């Protein structure tokens, strides 16, 4: 085969042949440069420990630590020239450090490996993202609480199967999402506590013969303790998988709420008006106001789910300890984190800015025979009908109202007594939607008094 044919097989991008392909597949600097701050923090902690243990001279350690700050400032200022030939963030930083301080830079890698270095960097990065998620979820919950408090006694239809079921309050519906996102918040905090162990000092896989102090570096980096097994320390990516699992469950909740906002803001529902900041107009239809932010949240969630599955596939067949496959962990997590944080921020903004249409909510709550269950309950409670018989009587009255084109409260007492002559005037006290929601006083129920209790509880918890 001619050289020309060979080059065509490699393709234009890889005209240089196998060397170019190997550099491209092996290099991770294109994405792991996002961990520059974490990498430099880890190296500065490691340098301080080496000096404290007498493994390197104090003067060398100080030069390393100061030089690393210079490198960080160059990266943050956009003045750093990243090199694909140097493969990753670790080698790029170390090469620049050598240019700055000379041979002392070569002592920085004493007692560690890129295996424990990247495991430490990645944990630090994920930990930062969990802290950001904590802040984002807290802000979203506070926005929901504000909506719930404002509309604690506003009635709206509650749905099952997207069919009108029973009246609930706007506040109760908002508080349902507070509970959902509170579980996400607890998972974020739980995951952070579990992953807060330091791999640094595990070296390549077996530890090191240098007299390092792993407790010192763990403490310096804000970890609770060093990881207890060096093989596990360099090969574990559970923390990243748990981050993606937590993100996926929260993303699902965000998508469910986004779906409701899309429905509620439609002309057919008019339950809410989204602010102009989170909507767009149509290029051809001037009457339209599109809930684009909600729709994009709903779509971006798939990327979070996909990242979760992708990293599972990367890790599922790896023997201990480190394998190069693990280089594929970061892009998935980075992308998922970006989209999760964006979705959280967008949802918080939409919830904080949206206006609920109280009149439309109440009109919808009063339609669709939403107080039928209240009527059945009254028949059981007041005239001692078995529930199945009460259900049958109520069904007959619903059919009568439907045939007449009215709702249950519009039927006369005579109409009702034609189906069951034990019904009294008192039945009308339960048929209004406000009466219905006020009666649901069981713990966790939709009654305004219960909603306000829950709002107060969560306001105190999040203070």
Q: Which residues are catalytic?
A: 161, 282
For residues 25 and 328, the answer to whether their CB atoms sit within 8 Å is no
SS3 441: coil
CA distance 337 to 244: 8
Sign of CA dihedral 429, 435, 441, 444: positive
**Two structure tokens written together for 461:** 């918890």
For residues 115 and 203, the answer to whether their CB atoms sit within 8 Å is yes
CA distance 130 to 123: 10
CA distance 460 to 463: 5
Say how many Å lie between the first and final Cα of the chain, rounded.
73
Beta strands in 119-242 (DSSP E): 155-160, 163-169, 197-198, 225-226
SS3 320: coil
Sign of CA dihedral 315, 192, 226, 54: positive
Helices (H) and strands (E) in the chain, counts: 19, 8
Cis omega (within 30 of 0) on the bond before 184? no
238: exposed, middle or buried (C-beta count within 10 Å: 0-12, 13-18, 19+)?
Answer: middle
Task: Report residue 102: phi and psi, to 5°.
Answer: 85, -150
């Amino acid at each position: 085969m001619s050289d020309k044919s060979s080059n065509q097989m490699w393709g234009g991008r890889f005209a240089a042949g196998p060397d170019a392909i190997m550099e491209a597949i092996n290099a991770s600097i294109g994405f792991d440069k996002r961990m520059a701050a974490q990498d430099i923090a880890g190296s500065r902690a490691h340098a301080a420990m080496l000096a404290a243990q007498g493994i390197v001279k104090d003067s060398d350690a100080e030069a390393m630590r100061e030089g690393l700050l210079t490198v960080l400032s160059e990266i943050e200022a956009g003045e750093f020239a990243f090199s694909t030939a140097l493969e990753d963030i670790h080698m790029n930083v170390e090469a620049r450090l050598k240019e700055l301080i000379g041979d002392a830079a070569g002592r920085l890698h004493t007692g560690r490996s890129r295996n424990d270095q990247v495991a430490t960097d990645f944990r630090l990065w994920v930990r930062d993202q969990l802290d950001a998620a904590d802040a984002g979820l807290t802000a979203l919950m506070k926005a929901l609480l504000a909506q719930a408090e404002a509309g604690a006694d506003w009635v709206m239809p509650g749905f099952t199967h997207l069919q009108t079921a029973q009246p609930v309050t706007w506040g109760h519906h908002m508080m349902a999402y507070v509970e959902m996102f509170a579980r996400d918040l607890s998972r974020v905090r739980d995951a952070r506590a579990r992953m807060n162990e330091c791999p640094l000092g595990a070296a390549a896989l077996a530890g090191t013969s240098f007299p390092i102090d792993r407790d010192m570096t763990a403490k310096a980096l804000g970890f609770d303790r060093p990881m207890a097994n060096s093989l596990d320390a360099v090969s574990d990516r559970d923390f990243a998988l748990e981050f993606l699992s937590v993100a996926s469950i929260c993303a699902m909740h965000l998508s469910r709420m986004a779906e409701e906002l899309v429905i509620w803001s439609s002309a057919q529902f008019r339950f809410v008006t989204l602010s102009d900041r989170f909507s767009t107009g149509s290029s051809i239809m001037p009457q339209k106001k599109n809930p684009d932010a909600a729709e994009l949240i709903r779509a971006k969630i798939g990327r979070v789910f996909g990242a979760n599955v992708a990293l599972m596939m990367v890790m599922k067949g790896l023997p201990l300890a480190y394998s190069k496959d693990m280089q594929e962990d970061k892009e998935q997590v980075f992308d998922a984190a970006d989209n999760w944080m964006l979705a959280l921020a967008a949802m918080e903004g939409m919830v904080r800015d949206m206006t609920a249409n109280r009149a439309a909510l109440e009109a919808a709550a009063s339609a669709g025979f939403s107080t039928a269950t209240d009527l059945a309950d009254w028949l059981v409670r007041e005239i001692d009908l078995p529930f199945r018989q009460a259900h049958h009587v109520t069904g007959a009255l619903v059919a009568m109202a439907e045939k007449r084109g009215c709702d249950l409260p519009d039927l006369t007492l005579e109409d009702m007594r034609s189906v069951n002559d034990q019904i009294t005037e008192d039945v009308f006290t339960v048929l209004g939607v406000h009466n219905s929601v006020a009666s649901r006083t069981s713990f966790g129920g939709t009654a305004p008094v219960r909603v306000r209790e829950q709002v107060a509880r969560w306001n105190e918890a999040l203070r």
